[in-house]
Protein backbone atom coordinates (compact mmCIF):
# COMPACT_ATOMS: atom_id res chain seq x y z
CA UNK A 1 0.00 0.00 0.00
CA UNK A 2 1.50 3.27 -1.13
CA UNK A 3 2.77 5.53 1.61
CA UNK A 4 3.28 2.83 4.24
CA UNK A 5 6.62 2.53 6.06
CA UNK A 6 8.15 -0.90 6.66
CA UNK A 7 11.12 -1.77 8.86
CA UNK A 8 12.81 -5.13 8.30
CA UNK A 9 14.97 -6.21 11.22
CA UNK A 10 17.22 -8.80 9.61
CA UNK A 11 19.60 -11.18 11.34
CA UNK A 12 21.66 -13.49 9.16
CA UNK A 13 25.36 -13.54 8.39
CA UNK A 14 25.06 -14.73 4.78
CA UNK A 15 23.34 -12.59 2.11
CA UNK A 16 22.82 -15.66 -0.11
CA UNK A 17 20.98 -17.59 2.62
CA UNK A 18 17.27 -18.35 2.59
CA UNK A 19 16.82 -15.58 5.13
CA UNK A 20 18.69 -13.22 2.84
CA UNK A 21 16.43 -14.21 -0.06
CA UNK A 22 13.28 -13.76 2.04
CA UNK A 23 14.51 -10.32 3.10
CA UNK A 24 15.27 -9.35 -0.50
CA UNK A 25 11.82 -10.45 -1.66
CA UNK A 26 10.18 -8.34 1.06
CA UNK A 27 12.20 -5.29 0.02
CA UNK A 28 11.35 -5.82 -3.66
CA UNK A 29 7.65 -6.60 -3.32
CA UNK A 30 6.87 -3.91 -0.75
CA UNK A 31 8.88 -1.27 -2.59
CA UNK A 32 6.99 -2.02 -5.80
CA UNK A 33 3.76 -1.56 -3.85
CA UNK A 34 4.86 1.98 -3.01
CA UNK A 35 6.02 1.31 0.54
CA UNK A 36 9.11 2.94 1.99
CA UNK A 37 11.29 0.03 3.18
CA UNK A 38 14.15 0.32 5.67
CA UNK A 39 16.40 -2.63 6.56
CA UNK A 40 18.34 -2.93 9.80
CA UNK A 41 20.89 -5.58 8.79
CA UNK A 42 22.13 -6.33 12.28
CA UNK A 43 25.22 -8.35 11.39
CA UNK A 44 26.29 -5.92 8.66
CA UNK A 45 25.77 -3.07 11.13
CA UNK A 46 27.81 -4.96 13.73
CA UNK A 47 24.98 -4.08 16.08
CA UNK A 48 25.98 -4.30 19.72
CA UNK A 49 23.61 -6.79 21.38
CA UNK A 50 24.88 -6.22 24.94
CA UNK A 51 23.06 -4.00 27.42
CA UNK A 52 25.58 -1.88 29.35
CA UNK A 53 25.95 1.47 31.11
CA UNK A 54 27.25 2.82 27.81
CA UNK A 55 23.67 2.80 26.50
CA UNK A 56 23.08 5.91 28.62
CA UNK A 57 24.81 8.97 27.20
CA UNK A 58 24.15 11.27 30.15
CA UNK A 59 24.64 10.99 33.91
CA UNK A 60 23.21 7.97 35.71
CA UNK A 61 20.35 8.42 38.16
CA UNK A 62 22.04 6.12 40.64
CA UNK A 63 25.75 5.50 39.90
CA UNK A 64 26.07 3.41 43.09
CA UNK A 65 23.52 0.79 42.05
CA UNK A 66 23.01 0.34 38.32
CA UNK A 67 19.53 -0.74 37.16
CA UNK A 68 19.42 -1.02 33.37
CA UNK A 69 15.64 -0.76 33.16
CA UNK A 70 15.41 2.33 35.37
CA UNK A 71 18.39 4.07 33.80
CA UNK A 72 17.28 3.52 30.19
CA UNK A 73 13.74 4.62 31.01
CA UNK A 74 15.02 7.87 32.49
CA UNK A 75 17.56 8.33 29.69
CA UNK A 76 14.80 7.91 27.10
CA UNK A 77 12.73 10.62 28.79
CA UNK A 78 15.72 12.96 28.73
CA UNK A 79 16.83 12.06 25.20
CA UNK A 80 20.06 10.65 26.60
CA UNK A 81 20.14 7.14 25.17
CA UNK A 82 23.18 6.40 23.00
CA UNK A 83 23.06 7.17 19.30
CA UNK A 84 22.65 3.66 17.89
CA UNK A 85 19.57 3.02 20.04
CA UNK A 86 18.03 6.38 19.12
CA UNK A 87 18.51 5.65 15.41
CA UNK A 88 16.74 2.29 15.69
CA UNK A 89 13.94 3.75 17.79
CA UNK A 90 13.39 6.39 15.12
CA UNK A 91 13.00 3.63 12.52
CA UNK A 92 10.49 1.84 14.77
CA UNK A 93 8.53 5.05 15.35
CA UNK A 94 8.20 5.65 11.61
CA UNK A 95 7.23 2.06 10.78
CA UNK A 96 3.69 0.90 10.13
CA UNK A 97 4.92 -2.68 9.85
CA UNK A 98 7.99 -4.34 11.39
CA UNK A 99 9.20 -7.62 9.86
CA UNK A 100 11.58 -9.72 11.93
CA UNK A 101 13.57 -11.91 9.52
CA UNK A 102 15.78 -14.53 11.16
CA UNK A 103 16.75 -18.19 11.57
CA UNK A 104 15.30 -19.82 14.67
CA UNK A 105 18.11 -20.37 17.19
CA UNK A 106 17.36 -22.58 20.18
CA UNK A 107 13.60 -21.92 19.94
CA UNK A 108 14.16 -18.16 19.88
CA UNK A 109 15.74 -15.18 18.16
CA UNK A 110 19.46 -15.09 17.37
CA UNK A 111 21.27 -13.26 20.19
CA UNK A 112 21.93 -10.19 18.05
CA UNK A 113 18.20 -9.75 17.39
CA UNK A 114 17.26 -10.36 21.01
CA UNK A 115 19.86 -7.75 21.95
CA UNK A 116 18.30 -5.30 19.50
CA UNK A 117 14.98 -5.81 21.30
CA UNK A 118 16.56 -5.56 24.76
CA UNK A 119 18.23 -2.27 23.89
CA UNK A 120 15.52 -0.64 21.75
CA UNK A 121 12.25 -1.64 23.44
CA UNK A 122 12.92 0.34 26.60
CA UNK A 123 10.27 1.38 29.08
CA UNK A 124 8.79 4.72 28.15
CA UNK A 125 9.35 4.06 24.45
CA UNK A 126 7.83 0.64 23.76
CA UNK A 127 5.75 0.08 26.89
CA UNK A 128 4.91 1.47 30.29
CA UNK A 129 2.69 0.42 33.14
CA UNK A 130 -0.21 0.03 32.71
CA UNK A 131 0.62 0.80 29.06
CA UNK A 132 1.30 -2.70 27.81
CA UNK A 133 -0.34 -5.37 25.65
CA UNK A 134 -3.37 -3.73 23.97
CA UNK A 135 -2.30 -0.34 25.34
CA UNK A 136 1.43 -0.80 24.68
CA UNK A 137 3.14 2.33 23.41
CA UNK A 138 3.72 0.86 19.94
CA UNK A 139 0.00 0.23 19.39
CA UNK A 140 -1.28 0.93 15.90
CA UNK A 141 1.72 -0.78 14.35
CA UNK A 142 1.88 -4.29 12.94
CA UNK A 143 4.62 -6.88 13.31
CA UNK A 144 5.34 -10.27 11.79
CA UNK A 145 7.91 -12.98 12.40
CA UNK A 146 9.39 -14.45 9.21
CA UNK A 147 11.86 -17.17 10.07
CA UNK A 148 13.50 -20.41 9.02
CA UNK A 149 13.85 -23.56 11.09
CA UNK A 150 16.31 -26.40 11.19
CA UNK A 151 13.57 -28.92 11.94
CA UNK A 152 10.77 -30.07 9.68
CA UNK A 153 7.16 -28.93 9.91
CA UNK A 154 6.21 -32.27 11.47
CA UNK A 155 8.82 -31.81 14.21
CA UNK A 156 7.08 -28.56 15.18
CA UNK A 157 3.58 -30.07 15.18
CA UNK A 158 1.56 -31.26 18.17
CA UNK A 159 2.73 -34.80 17.32
CA UNK A 160 6.37 -33.83 16.74
CA UNK A 161 9.29 -33.97 19.15
CA UNK A 162 9.63 -30.18 19.29
CA UNK A 163 5.94 -29.63 20.03
CA UNK A 164 3.39 -27.27 18.50
CA UNK A 165 5.27 -24.23 17.23
CA UNK A 166 2.62 -21.78 18.43
CA UNK A 167 3.57 -22.67 22.03
CA UNK A 168 7.19 -21.94 21.22
CA UNK A 169 6.18 -18.57 19.75
CA UNK A 170 4.11 -17.55 22.80
CA UNK A 171 6.91 -15.67 24.65
CA UNK A 172 7.95 -13.88 21.45
CA UNK A 173 4.61 -12.99 19.89
CA UNK A 174 2.73 -12.35 23.12
CA UNK A 175 5.41 -11.59 25.69
CA UNK A 176 7.47 -9.22 23.54
CA UNK A 177 5.64 -8.00 20.46
CA UNK A 178 2.05 -7.85 21.72
CA UNK A 179 3.31 -6.63 25.12
CA UNK A 180 4.59 -3.50 23.36
CA UNK A 181 1.23 -2.92 21.67
CA UNK A 182 1.88 -4.31 18.19
CA UNK A 183 -0.85 -6.08 16.29
CA UNK A 184 0.73 -9.45 15.55
CA UNK A 185 0.29 -11.09 12.16
CA UNK A 186 0.50 -14.86 11.74
CA UNK A 187 4.15 -15.96 11.37
CA UNK A 188 5.71 -16.80 8.04
CA UNK A 189 7.59 -20.03 8.70
CA UNK A 190 9.99 -21.59 6.19
CA UNK A 191 10.59 -25.07 7.54
CA UNK A 192 13.97 -26.78 7.14
CA UNK A 193 15.10 -25.02 3.93
CA UNK A 194 18.51 -26.72 4.09
CA UNK A 195 16.90 -30.16 3.84
CA UNK A 196 14.31 -29.68 1.11
CA UNK A 197 14.56 -29.60 -2.68
CA UNK A 198 15.45 -26.51 -4.67
CA UNK A 199 11.90 -26.57 -6.02
CA UNK A 200 10.50 -26.46 -2.48
CA UNK A 201 12.80 -23.55 -1.55
CA UNK A 202 11.55 -21.60 -4.57
CA UNK A 203 8.01 -22.37 -3.48
CA UNK A 204 8.74 -20.93 -0.02
CA UNK A 205 9.97 -17.70 -1.60
CA UNK A 206 6.94 -17.53 -3.90
CA UNK A 207 4.58 -18.07 -0.96
CA UNK A 208 6.17 -15.16 0.90
CA UNK A 209 5.99 -12.95 -2.18
CA UNK A 210 2.29 -13.71 -2.66
CA UNK A 211 1.51 -13.10 0.98
CA UNK A 212 3.30 -9.74 1.05
CA UNK A 213 1.13 -8.45 -1.78
CA UNK A 214 -1.90 -8.78 0.52
CA UNK A 215 -0.18 -8.12 3.86
CA UNK A 216 -2.02 -4.87 4.60
CA UNK A 217 -5.39 -6.64 4.39
CA UNK A 218 -4.54 -9.38 6.88
CA UNK A 219 -6.22 -9.55 10.26
CA UNK A 220 -3.96 -9.88 13.33
CA UNK A 221 -3.91 -13.12 15.28
CA UNK A 222 -5.49 -13.35 18.72
CA UNK A 223 -2.72 -13.01 21.31
CA UNK A 224 -4.76 -14.06 24.35
CA UNK A 225 -3.74 -17.21 26.25
CA UNK A 226 -6.77 -19.32 25.20
CA UNK A 227 -5.80 -18.92 21.55
CA UNK A 228 -2.43 -20.52 22.27
CA UNK A 229 -3.23 -23.06 24.94
CA UNK A 230 -6.68 -24.48 24.22
Mean pLDDT within 27-42: 98
Does residue 106 register a pLDDT over 80? Answer: yes
Q: Residues with Cβ < 8 Å from 190, sequence gap 6 or more?
A: 18, 22, 146, 147, 148, 149, 204, 208
Q: Residues with Cβ < 8 Å from 211, sequence gap 6 or more?
A: 188
Q: How far apart are CA 6 and CA 56, in angstroms?
A: 27
Domains of the chain, start order: 5-229 (3.40.50.360)
Residue 154: pLDDT band (50, 70, 90) is very high
Which has the closest alpha carbon to 34: 66, 59, 6?
Answer: 6
Q: Residues with Cβ < 8 Å from 130, sequence gap 6 or more?
A: none
Which has the closest alpha carbon to 120: 149, 106, 100, 144?
Answer: 100
For the chain, give the number of residues. Answer: 230
Q: Residues with Cβ < 8 Å from 113, sequence gap 6 or more?
A: 9, 11, 42, 49, 100, 102
Mean pLDDT within 46-67: 96
pTM of structure: 0.96
Mean pLDDT within 76-82: 96
Amino acid sequence: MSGKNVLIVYAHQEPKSMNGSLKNIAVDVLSKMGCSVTVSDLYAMNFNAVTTRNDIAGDLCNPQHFSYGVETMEAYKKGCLCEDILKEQEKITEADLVIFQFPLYWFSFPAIMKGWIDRCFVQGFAFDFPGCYDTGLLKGKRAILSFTTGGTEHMFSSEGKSGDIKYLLWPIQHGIIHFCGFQVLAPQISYAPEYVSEERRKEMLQNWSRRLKNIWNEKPIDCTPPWYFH
